[in-house]
Structure 1
Amino acid sequence: MIVVPEAACPSLLSLDDAFAPVEAVFAAMARGDATNFPVVREALGGAEEALYGFKGGYDRAGATLGLKAGGYWPHNLAHRQLTNHQSTVFLFDPETGRPTAMVGGNYLTAARTAAASSVSIKHLARPDARVLGMVGAGHQAVFQLRAALRQRPFERVVGWNRDPDRLSRLAEVAGEAGLPFEAVSLDRLGAEADVIVTIASSFAPILAAAQVRPGTHLACMGTDTKGKQEVDSTLLARATVFTDEIAQSVTIGEAQHAVAAGLIRAADITPLGAVINGTHPGRASPDQITLFDGTGVGLQDLAVAARVVALAKAAGLAAEVAF
């Protein structure tokens, strides 16, 4: 079995490296060549307020089988100087069931989540999108911003966060890309941004439907669990909604509230892979609001883990242990 430790992953897998496997997984899911298994996600309770669970699946096209175990510990960074998201990916041989790899999943989770929103921007945002809006400024937001900037020739970045001081990290990333950054109100962000990425752990809507102008593409990428909500439910009724996995979108994703309220149906939601495969046209007009509900499927984790294992082998950094 190959072991790729957490510390080795960032130097092995770039955000560009993560993009192609995630895009391919979306396409395979839409074709019926890859299946996500039911998600197990539970609140551990107690002072830690942690969420823990398992996401797995089988990609026949990519010959990838496995699972990711982990979750979200909201107090890690403040109390232990550890990343709040903690996870490990396990890969198995589809033909024999034998374990083939154990890979640190913290960086990979951030990379594949950023790649997923980046794929949605590539396929759904207006070609003339020039202003990028960021809602949230946590650890994951930096990855989201870097990945999004690869998909359109953005000219500036605007951002909002409950704690405005934390926006400095986004300003630094924008500056590295040679772009101006401005902290703004949610009203201004919605009025000015052509693409909006929401990346917040929220159980109440942050962005109202009235704040989003026609033609906007939104990628809602915050932590997904029962009750999560980043945008007002009525926004999903105004938008054409896409997702990675419909079953997750309506149960633990951004669409759960809109579906429960009868504003949209599961049948109204389109897998992003259908756009990638060309069986759905995607954006139909410049004024259309498109919304990608990124719920974070296990197949994404397996795809980037398999990629990092291949890169580790090529670089001579994969440790092999008998198991």
Structure 2
Amino acid sequence: MHHLDADALARAVTPRALVEALRSLFAQGAEVPLRHHHTLPSAGDERPGTLLLMPAWQADGAGYIGVKVATVFPDNPDRRDLSAVTALYYLAEGGSGRPLALIDGTLLTRMRTAAASALAADYLARPDAATLLMVGTGALAPHFIRHHAAVREYARVLVWGRDAAKAEAVARAVAPDLPDAEVSAVARLAEGLEAADVVSCATSASTPVVPGEALRPGQHLDLAGGFTPLMREADDAAIRRARVFIDTDGATVECGDILDPLNAGVLRREDIQGDLFQLCRGERAGRGGPGEITLFKSVGTALEDLAGAALAYERHIAAGA
């Protein structure tokens, strides 16, 4: 059985290849049982942790079987200088169950989460989108920038966060990967929103960060940070003004950005324009015109982990490991 640590995973998988792997598996489909979701005790006044067990397999029996074991402790970055999400991925052979690989699930989660947002942007962002705004400065931010840049040739990338020093650090970290783009931090969110064609959010906010009234025609808003009913990155005005898309039906029950508007009557289930399965299969149209505001909300799915793990394993073997 092979072991792919974070370095091996990063060598094996490129952003564009991962986006295409997700596109392919969303089009094909996979068996994805409801993930196990368990609340974990935390110390003192910290927010509780979460244990996630996320299985998936290809239905024809000729592909792969996989499961991710992950923990989420939201206060880790501030209290312990650790990632909020840590994980391990187990990949096995379809039809036999033969163990194939153990893969760093922490990096895999960051990469596939970013790739899903980039995949959606490939359908929903304007083809001529030139400026990307990254809202958030955590561990996901550099991956989101790199993956979004794999589907659009951005001339300018802006980074905003509540901590200006962290925003500057993210900009410096990704600048060498984007030699043809101007990469910088912005001091004010309003400045970034005014300039951006695509706004990508990966925060742990519990109250909306992006005001819908600040969005302008033609923008695409990507919301990926919130994964519980108590988390929100955009307000009701953003939902009202946008054509709303989701990654999977899980977004309608797991995250505040969709669940709150549904409960309040701001959004109806039939108003949701489609999901990644429908977009990748051509069953639903993406952007309908240059002046539309589009919004994509993701909560993640084990299908994405399986696609990324299979890609990493195959490239690892092809490289002569």
Please give the TM-score of this superposition, normalised by the length of structure 2: 0.89
Unmatched runs of 5 consecutive residues or more in structure 1? 318-323
Q: Does 1:58 align with 2:57?
A: yes
Give the alignment of 1:255-294 within 5 angstroms: 255-269=258-272, 270-294=274-298
Structure 1 residue identity aligned to 2:184:
F
Tell me by how many angstroms 1:250 deviates. 0.8
Find 1:199's aligned residue among 193, 197, 202: 202
* 2:244 alignment counterpart: 241
Stretch deviating more after TM superposition (56-65 or 190-199):
56-65
1:291-322: CA deviations, max 9, x gaps? 111211111001111111112222343xxxxx
> Are the structure 2 counterparts of residues 266 and 40 from structure 1 closer, same or farther at C-alpha, using a change threshold of 3 Å?
farther
* 2:146 alignment counterpart: 146
Stretch deviating more after TM superposition (132-141 or 227-236):
227-236
Unmatched runs of 5 consecutive residues or more in structure 2? none
* 2:254 alignment counterpart: 252
Contact 1:145–1:170 (CA<8 Å) still a contact in 2? no
> Are the structure 2 counterparts of residues 283 and 183 from structure 1 closer, same or farther at C-alpha, using a change threshold of 3 Å?
same
The CA distance in 2 between the partners of 1:118 and 1:240, in whole Å, is 17
Q: Secondary structure at the match of 2:266?
A: coil
Stretch deviating more after TM superposition (56-65 or 113-122):
56-65
Tell me by how many angstroms 1:173 deviates. 4.3
Please give the TM-score of this superposition, normalised by the length of structure 1: 0.88
* 2:34 alignment counterpart: 38
> Are the structure 2 counterparts of residues 41 and 65 from structure 1 closer, same or farther at C-alpha, using a change threshold of 3 Å?
same
The CA distance in 2 between the partners of 1:125 and 1:241, in whole Å, is 13
Find 1:186's aligned residue among 169, 173, 189: 189
Contact 2:142–2:174 (CA<8 Å) still a contact in 1? no
Tell me by how many angstroms 1:277 deviates. 2.1
Contact 1:42–1:51 (CA<8 Å) still a contact in 2? yes
* 2:230 alignment counterpart: 227
1:16-45: CA deviations, max 9, x gaps? 2312111112223xxxx3232112223313
> Are the structure 2 counterparts of residues 152 and 93 from structure 1 closer, same or farther at C-alpha, using a change threshold of 3 Å?
closer
1:216-259: CA deviations, max 9, x gaps? 1111111412322111133123211112212x111113312111
The CA distance in 2 between the partners of 1:39 and 1:241, in whole Å, is 24
Tell me by how many angstroms 1:132 deviates. 1.0
Percent of aligned pairs with the same amino acid = 29
1:122-169: CA deviations, max 9, x gaps? 111011211111110111101101111222232222232111110012
> Are the structure 2 counterparts of residues 182 and 99 from structure 1 closer, same or farther at C-alpha, using a change threshold of 3 Å?
closer
Give the alignment of 1:53-132 within 5 angstroms: 53-60=52-59, 63-77=63-77, 81-132=81-132
Tell me by how many angstroms 1:10 deviates. 1.6
Contact 2:243–2:294 (CA<8 Å) still a contact in 1? yes
